[in-house]
Amino acid sequence: MSFFPEIILSALVLLILGFGVFLLFYRKKRLSGRDIEKIRKLWQDITSVADQHPEQAILKADKLLDFALQQAGYRGSLGEKLQKARHVFHDNNAVWSAHKLRNRIAHEVDIQIGKTQVSTALLAFKRAFSDLGIQL
């Protein structure tokens, strides 16, 4: 009597179940049309105030990226989400620089940021959204 067919069948069942669990827990979701439209609307709001309130624009853009990553299935703090999504971004360093600028704005007293820093950071955020499949 050979147990070989039963072993093969059991291994195949375990492999299929393991793949199913992987897809269930680790596959990233696609953003819904509603989420994409919400992000586009909020991005328009951000860019409309960027000249008058650049610090607020950076803070809001960072928060919006956090929302987009969460909706795409990434979990944790924004720093953790950025780390997990690093393979998604064409210029991961630019995204991190923009996030670090946000942290400076949020935590430093009397921070002075220039127009070039603001435009560079907003461009990095915009490209990050594009990398996530959201054309702004």
pLDDT score at 7: 78
Residue 10 identity: S
pLDDT digits (tens, 9 = 90+) for 9-58: 787 888 887 766 555 555 456 889 999 999 999 999 999 999 999 999 99
Q: Of 79, 76, 88, 84, nearest to 129 (Cα)?
A: 88
| Integer Rg of the chain from CA | 21
Containing 41, the helix (H) or strand (E) segment is helix 33-49
pLDDT digits (tens, 9 = 90+) for 53-105: 999 999 999 999 999 999 999 999 999 999 999 999 999 999 999 999 999 99
CB of 59 closer than 8 Å to CB of 106: yes
CB of 89 closer than 8 Å to CB of 128: yes
In sequence order, the 6+-apart residues with CB closer than 8 A to the CB of 98 are 58, 61, 62, 120, 121, 122, 124, 125, 128
* CATH classification code of 33-131: 1.20.120
- Could you state, in order of their start, the residue ranges of all structural domains in the chain? 33-131
Residue 116 DSSP symbol: H
Containing 24, the helix (H) or strand (E) segment is helix 4-26
Per-residue pLDDT at 116 exceeds 60: yes
